Amino acid sequence: MIHPTAIIEPGAQLGVNVSLGPYAHVAATARLGDGCVLDSHAVVKDYTTIGARCRLHTGAVIGGEPQDLSFKNEPSYVVTGDDCIFREGVTVNRGTKPGTTTRIGNHVFMMANSHAAHNCEVGDHVVLANGVLLAGYVTVGERAFLGGGVGVHQFCHIGRLAMVGAISVITKDLLPFCVAANCANSMVFGLNIIGLRRAGFTPEQRAQVKQAFHVLYRAGLNTTQAREQLSAATDNPFAQEYAEFLGRAKRGICRFSHTVAADETDV
C-alpha cells in the first residue's frame, strides 16, 4: 500500500491502512489518520494533521506555508476532519500567525484547483467546486456550496447552507440559507430552498427561514432595524440565528437584488 517511490520523512505518523502512491510525500511532523489515500505526487506538509479516510488526489498540497508576506516561518497548523476529498491541485495553507490553525471540517469536498488560504475555517459537508478561492480568515458554514470559480474576500463569512453561483465574487458576509447570484458581486437573490429540503428542514422550519429573510431583505428596514426586529422574534430560531450573524458581521452583508429575485413562494 506504500509505493516504493513515496517519501515518508522520519517522524511522520501514519495511521493503519494508509495508502501512498508514486512520489507522494509526507513531511516529518505530518500525521495521517487511518485509511487515508494519497495519490501520486500528493503532498502533506509539516504541522498538518489529516483526519481518517481522507483522499488526496494527484498534486494536492495540504499544509503549505501561507502566502502572506508577514509570515515568519514559525509553527502554525492545518487540521482536517474525517472523510474529506481533495481533488487534483487543491491547496490548503497553514495559519499565518504563530500557533494558529487552518481548519477543514468533516466530509468536505474540495474540487480541482480550489484553495483555502491561511486561517480559513471550513465547516462540515461543505462543497467547494473547481477553482474556488478562499482568501485568508474566511469562514464557510456547514453544508454551504460554492460554485466553480467563486472568489471570496479575506475575513468574509459564508453562512451555513448558503449557495454561491459560479464565477461570483463575495466581498461581504453571506447570511445562512441564502443564494448569491451567478457572475455577480455579493448579491443575494433568494433562499436555498432545495438545500433546506435536502438538509431535512420541515415546511414549518422553511417558513420560519422565509420570515427571517423577509425581515432582513424585504421589509424596508436598515440593517440595525432588521437586527432589532429579528432579535425580538424569540419564537423563531432562524430569526435569532440571523440576528447573531448580523452581530458578528464585520464587512457588511450581501445586498438583495430585486432584479434577479427568485420565487420564494414554495417553502
Taking 70 as the pLDDT cut, the residues of the chain under it are 259-267
Measured CA to CA, the distance from residue 216 to residue 173 in angstroms comes to 14
Amino acid at 54: C
pLDDT for 261: 52
Which tens digit of pLDDT belongs to each residue from 52-105? 999 999 999 999 999 999 999 999 999 999 999 999 999 999 999 999 999 999
pLDDT of residue 181: 87
In angstroms, rounded to a whole number, what is the distance separating the alpha carbons of residues 167 and 125?
Answer: 21
pLDDT at 233: 97
* Cell matching residue 83: 472523510
| Predicted pLDDT at 265 | 41
Q: Which of 118, 146, 142, 117 is nearest to 132 (CA)?
A: 146
Question: What domains lie within the chain, and their CATH numbers?
Answer: 7-191 (2.160.10.10), 196-253 (1.20.1180.10)
Can you give the pLDDT at residue 199? Answer: 96
Neighbours of 113 (CB within 10 A): 18
On whether the CB atoms of residues 265 and 211 are closer than 8 A, the answer is no
